[in-house]
Amino acid sequence: MTSLHIGLIREEKTPQDNRVAFTPQQCQWILSHYPTVQITVQPSPHRAFKDDEYSTAGIRLAEDLSQCDILLGIKEVPVERLIPGKTYLFFSHTKKLQPQNREMLRTILERKITLIDYECLVHPDGQRILGFGFFAGVVGAHNGLLEFGRRTGLFNFKRVHECHDFQELITHYFGVKLPPVKIVATGSGRVTAGILEVMGLLGIKYIPPEEFLINEYAYPVYTQLKAGELYLRRSDKTYSREDFHNHPEHYDCKFLPYVTCSDILMNGIYWEQDIAPLFTWEDLAKENFRIQVIADITDDKGGSVPCNLGDGTIEQPVYGVHRQSREKTAPYDPESVTMMCVGNLPNELPRDASQFFGDHLMKYVFDDLVNGGSEMITKATIAAHGKLTDRYAYMQPYVAGE
Ligand SMILES: NC(=O)c1ccc[n+]([C@@H]2O[C@H](COP(=O)([O-])OP(=O)(O)OC[C@H]3O[C@@H](n4cnc5c(N)ncnc54)[C@H](O)[C@@H]3O)[C@@H](O)[C@H]2O)c1
């Protein structure tokens, strides 16, 4: 084990993020199990864990991180904050050549920085190691129910960010009796795991899709539609995961019947441009469109849910979309569908989201960092000492501004 000094940087992207890579307890655990590791935390007024919590846990706080070998953040780092020669880990959102982050990557290269992107850290089977989807699913499912309660006037939930943490949220579920609502959830990744967690905590009963389609129930129920139950190859009416990922344009979506038998849609399915939407604007305008609330947790504007007209905020997460005019309306307008589309849902539960993230970082990545690298780390290294690595050489024209 080589000695390693880790710095936890302050999030400075606007709006300021309240998450962190390691909680005070996780820092404490690392220090007690890795005698060669030091940690310094840059103070922050916005972090979900206060500076005091770190100092009480015996973790050093300092503004100056120039002594650190590795700097851990969450979101993109403003260019003026990038320290030359350091190794950074954060979500850079550059690998899809996002124009808003080109200048940052250029500066990273100029300042001979090494950038390891969390998003590119994958298990050998290609599954991503780190992500915040689970708590996005938890918050999104809660918000979807909350909005249904407010829209119908049948029940009231507290907003998640008013709770200290997930544990407190759970205590609000004790004794809650929901009306006989029918919920359809899509997907099978982390977001959907979060949705299912809320279904379990509230005792909402799972019903297989084929029964959900034809029956009504006297109690709250949900069904889950994975990609294999949602998409069908046009030519032979089959589904192959690999083929679907490579040729989504060959597949039709089978979601339509669910718009006529569900009250809430909780959307957690991955989407990209060539994947068929769950329904169309024309379907939304029809009499038999029963869904009243859509929690579009996947949250692609005009994506799998065509009436996603863009993001709300944590403070004001919902708006209505008129089913005929397609215009934005008041959230609970009776002629509209209530849309909950928020791009930073995990920020409503930042303490738990940070802990979950730090746990995975510790379990699957930390040893490799302490041991000076691994194939997994190499594959996630976009830039090394100021140069794009071979794997990411395709980004050269983007960096050059071509
Ligand atoms: N609103 C928010 O705050 C928020 C937060 C986190 C994630 N999200 C979004 O939610 C969606 C799901 O996230 P997740 O964490 O559950 O993802 P995940 O990585 O856990 O699961 C993604 C699923 O999509 C499938 N997939 C991967 N590549 C695909 C491709 N090219 N075509 C079709 N399917 C593919 C994978 O097999 C996997 O089952 C993503 O679009 C993500 O950006 C939103």
Domain endpoint, select from 308, 328, 348: 348
* pTM (two decimals): 0.91
What is the DSSP secondary-structure string of 223-241? EEE-HHHHEEETTTS---H
pLDDT of res. 175: 87
Range of the domain at 313: 133-348
Ligand 1 atom with the smallest distance to the CA of 347 is 3
CB 6 within 8 A of CB 72: yes
Please identify, by atom number, the ligand 1 atom nearest to the C-alpha of residue 227. 34
**C-alpha of residue 279 to centroid of ligand 1, in Å:** 19
Strands 205-206 and 182-186: unpaired
Instruction: Give 185 Cα–ligand 1 centroid separation in angstroms.
Output: 14
Query: What's residue 402's pLDDT?
Result: 83
Q: What's the 135 CA to ligand 1 centre distance in angstroms?
A: 13
Closest CA to ligand 1's atom 28:
245
113 and 198 share a domain? no
CA 61 to chain centre: 29
Q: Which atom of ligand 1 is nearest to the CA of 245?
A: 32
Whether 195 and 276 share a structural domain: yes
**Best mutation site among 130, 229, 270 for ligand 1 pocket (most ligand atoms within 8 Å of CB):** 270
User: Are 175 and 294 contained in the same domain?
Assistant: yes
CB atoms within 10 A of CB 397: 9
Does residue 189 have its Cβ closer than 6 Å to ligand 1?
yes
User: Both 286 and 149 in a single domain?
Assistant: yes
- Please give the pLDDT value at position 1: 60
Contact between 329 and 283 under an 8 Å Cβ cutoff? The reply is: no
Spatial distance between the Cα atoms of 179 and 158, rounded to a whole number of angstroms:
17
> Do residues 262 and 184 lie in contact, with contact meaning Cβ atoms separated by under 8 Å?
yes
Structure tokens at 368: 């490799």
Are residue 334 and residue 355 in the same domain, yes or no? no
Distance CA 88, CA 44 (A): 18
Same domain, 371 and 288: no
Question: Does ipTM top 0.85?
Answer: yes
Answer yes or no: do 369 and 275 share one domain: no
| Same domain, yes or no: 339 and 209 | yes
User: Is 80 in the same domain as 140?
Assistant: no
Question: What does the pLDDT profile of the chain (402 residues) look like in tens digits?
Answer: 678 999 999 999 988 899 999 999 999 999 999 999 999 999 999 999 999 999 999 999 999 999 999 999 999 999 999 999 999 999 999 998 999 999 999 999 999 999 999 999 999 999 999 999 999 999 999 999 999 999 999 999 999 999 999 999 999 999 899 999 999 999 999 999 999 999 999 999 999 999 999 999 999 999 999 999 999 999 999 999 999 999 999 999 999 999 999 999 999 999 988 999 999 999 999 999 999 999 999 999 999 999 999 999 998 999 999 999 999 999 999 999 999 999 999 999 999 999 999 999 999 999 999 999 999 999 999 999 999 999 999 999 999 988
Q: In what order do the strands lie in the sheet with 60-61?
A: 60-61, 37-41, 4-8, 70-72, 87-90, 114-117, 381-384, 387-388
- Token look-up 């692609």 returns 300
Q: Is the dihedral of CA 114, 117, 121, 126 positive or negative?
A: negative
Task: Determine whether the shortest distance from the Cβ of 344 to ligand 1 is under 6 A.
Answer: yes
**64 plus 103 within the same structural domain:** yes
Print burial letters for 358-393: b (CB count within 10 Å at least 16), e (below 16).
bebbbeebbebbbeeeeebbeebbbbbeeebbeebe
Atom of ligand 1 nearest to the CA of 300: 41
Looking from the CA of residue 188, the nearest atom of ligand 1 is 39
Same domain, 299 and 378: no
Can you give the CATH number for the domain in which 318 is found? 3.40.50.720
Domain count, the chain: 2
Ligand 1 lined by 343 (C-beta under 6 Å): yes
Listed residues 327, 348, 369: the one ending a domain? 348
Same domain (yes/no): 41, 76: yes
